[in-house]
Amino acid sequence: MNPKSLLTMKDLSNAEILDILNDAKAFNSSHSDWQIPVSSRKLTANLFFEPSTRTHFSFESAEYQLGLQAADLAPDSSSVTKGETLYDTCRTFESLGYGVLVIRHPQDEYFKELENVKIPIINAGDGKGNHPTQCLLDLLTMYNEFGHLDGLNVLICGDVAHSRVAASNKEALEKFGANVRFAGPKEWEREGYPFSDFDESIPWADVVIMLRIQRERGAKIDGMSDAEYLERYGLTLEREKKMKDHAIIMHPAPVNRGVEIDTNLVECERSRIFEQMKNGVLVRKAVLRRALGFAPFGRSEC
Ligand code: NCD
């Protein structure tokens, strides 16, 4: 596996995470026009085997802004339909001269099969396993808001069992000394994740992250309507009033308005949901730059 791959948050030390966040901030200000020098540009391939709007097109936007040429695999019109494995698909792109692979796949830890692929792989989500670039953009959003991560109280609520966002965020936030609690239906509790009562934890939280019900991974609550779900487990207008004055609302999106969150809260003053998307482009630019072997801004390039 290429050492510049990014598969899970475990691949990054705290210092490397901070380097990526700093690079993302630099892309937002002093380095907003920065592009990969022409001689170092590589073709990148975006291989999305699951639906995606934000992650896919923020990678595209990041690639375009960096001056990289990107190609998208449409699984339905590729040789995957003829039975080709993920490994052979990746080796094919490598043989065709592509220099970076961005992959989203429904299988947990699909990348374990790809150890012999030599070009860097950026994981854009594996099943319910990991979502490192979403985690980085979430960290950047919190960092921009509070100036630190240690000591922050972060409450993650909803379909925790099926959420790779919950998994990656737990991992990274705890490494930075944040306090992470979870809430949601009993059915979706996850081993090793500290669950709490949602209503008791709302006034405790500096950050409330709401999660969508991942129906495509089999999540369901029998006999409960959307309105009942919102009332019992969602972020309602009433619950929002119990949040600390400075507390913010986040959501990886797609949002199901009126299910896990009241539609009026999606763009309320506390919401950072669309800010997260902007930050997604910035961290993905930083991660692509790292994948191509560039040292963080402020250090000499390797
Ligand atoms: C998340 C994902 O795909 O894991 N979304 C995203 O990447 N922006 C969360 C979700 O789909 O609910």
Question: How does pLDDT run along the chain (302 residues), one tens digit per residue?
Answer: 999 999 999 999 999 999 999 999 999 999 999 999 999 999 999 999 999 999 999 999 999 999 999 999 988 888 888 899 999 999 999 999 999 999 999 999 999 999 999 999 999 999 999 999 999 999 999 999 999 999 999 999 999 999 999 999 999 999 999 999 999 999 999 999 999 999 999 999 999 999 999 888 888 887 789 999 999 999 999 999 999 999 999 999 999 999 999 999 999 999 999 999 999 999 999 999 999 999 999 765 54
Q: Is the CB of 55 under 6 A from ligand 1?
A: yes
Q: Is 212 in the pocket of ligand 1 (CB under 6 A)?
A: yes
- Contact 253 CB / ligand 1 (< 6 Å): yes
For the chain, the structural domain boundaries read: 9-130+278-299, 133-272
Select from 131, 135, 138 the residue to mutate for testing ligand 1; criterion: most ligand atoms less than 8 Å from CB: 131
Q: Do domains 9-130+278-299 and 133-272 have the same CATH topology?
A: yes
Q: Which protein residue has the closest C-alpha to ligand 1 atom 6?
A: 252
In words, the CATH class of domain 133-272 is: alpha beta
Alpha carbon of 196 to ligand 1 centroid (Å): 23
Minimal-distance CA residue to ligand 1 atom 12: 212
- CATH topology assigned to domain 9-130+278-299: Rossmann fold (3.40.50)
**Cα 105 to middle of ligand 1, angstroms:** 12
| Cα 253 to ligand 1 centre (Å) | 6
Closest C-alpha to ligand 1, atom 7: 55
* Residue nearest (by alpha carbon) to ligand 1 atom 1: 252
Q: Answer positive or negative: Cα dihedral of 40, 14, 300, 33.
A: positive
What atom in ligand 1 is closest to the CA of residue 159? 12
Ligand 1 pocket, residue 217 CB under 6 Å: no
pTM score = 0.96
Distance CA 257, CA 152 (A): 27
